[in-house]
Amino acid sequence: MSAPSTDVEPLAPEVRAALALAGGDLSLSDLFAMFATGLLPEPTRPEAAEVAPVTDADIERAAAMLMRAKALYGKVAPTDERELTGQELQALLRERNAIDELKNSIKAFEARKSGSLRQTVLIHMDRLAERTGQVVPEGEDATPRDASGHYLKEMKVRVPDTDQAFSWELSGGKADVDPARLLAAYEAGHITRVQYLSVTREARVYDPRKALDAIKRDPALFVALARHATVAKPQTGSLYVRKA
């Protein structure tokens, strides 16, 4: 194991300010996520997605598979717990295959839903959020974006003359110390043995409560943990259709 570095990385003012809030409105996970945000690659501005062509043959095949699946659906549904006959097993196999064929026949439509259709709706939301002042496009206070360049701000857009809305909902966005990386950081000399012991329990398991106490005593430890022992999970968004 190499000797720990004697150079103490200076703490930026925003890191000091964040640490002052630790244990209150902000958790260590929140702080690590804030630190990791500056390390993530810059998102690209989303461009209008091209619509993959769906031919008449694709539509006819999907319709045929739907009718086949409908004809076979639920034909074998015993009301008692018993063994099946050979004919029943054959019928279930035909039904299962028909469902698989139906799923394969609509792959182009699923790709449209999760690809260019999703992109088109999210670009609409991005522009609407900009026009209505719900986000800050640029500058130090810019609203964060996902890897595709869409704003990470929850939003709901009602579809006219319906009771439904497109809903952009966020999840993730946390970061926590990874035990394996924590040990590797210690072995590589990024943190001292005293620091390593201060953030782990007797079994040498990372302990967030001990870590918070240790960081308050030794603020430079925060940067060492954030840079060398933390695994960040970028915040992501999912597009749903909900009741407006």
Q: What is the pLDDT of residues 189-200, one digit of tens each?
A: 999 999 999 999
Written as six digits, the tokens of 114 are 């999760």
Q: Are 151 and 135 a contacting pair, CB within 8 Å?
A: yes
Residue 243 in domain: no
| % the chain with pLDDT above 90 | 33
pLDDT at 132: 95
Residue 159 in domain: no
- pLDDT band at 96; cut points 50, 70, 90: confident
Written as six digits, the tokens of 62 are 């999907």
Residue 113 in domain: yes
Indicate if the pLDDT at residue 180 is higher than 60. yes
Indicate if the pLDDT at residue 186 is higher than 90. yes
Residue 122 in domain: yes
Residues 78 and 37 in one domain: no
Residues 140 and 50 in one domain: yes
Residue 72's SS3 state is: helix
Lowest mean pLDDT among 73-87, 129-143, 224-238: 224-238
Looking at 144, 159, 188, the residue that finishes a domain is 144
Give one word for 173, left, alpha or beta, with left for phi > 0 and alpha for psi -120 to 50.
left
The domain tally of the chain equals 2
pLDDT at 236: 86
Indicate if the pLDDT at residue 94 is higher than 50. yes
Q: Which residue in 35, 41, 73 sits closest to 177, CA to CA?
A: 35
Could you give the angle at the alpha carbon of 50 between the alpha carbons of 49 and 52, nearest 5°?
130
- Sequence-separated (6 or more) residues with CB below 8 Å from residue 152: 143, 144, 145, 146, 170, 173, 235, 237
What CA–CA distance (Å, rounded) separates 175 from 50? 34
Q: Which residue in 81, 92, 239, 103 sits closest to 169, CA to CA?
A: 239
Residue 2 in domain: no
- pLDDT band at 172; cut points 50, 70, 90: confident
Residues 182 and 231 in one domain: yes
pTM across the whole model: 0.56
Residues 187 and 103 in one domain: no
Residues 139 and 49 in one domain: yes
Residue 160 in domain: no
Residues 38 and 74 in one domain: no
Residues 200 and 218 in one domain: yes
Residues 106 and 130 in one domain: yes
- Sequence-separated (6 or more) residues with CB below 8 Å from residue 147: 41, 43, 44, 234
Residues 117 and 202 in one domain: no
Residue 168 in domain: no
DSSP code, position 116 = I
pLDDT at 174: 78
pLDDT at 20: 60
Give one word for 98, left, alpha or beta, with left for phi > 0 and alpha for psi -120 to 50.
alpha
Indicate if the pLDDT at residue 7 is higher than 60. no
Looking at 144, 164, 183, the residue that finishes a domain is 144
**Domain housing 212:** 13-43+174-236
Indicate if the pLDDT at residue 6 is higher than 50. no
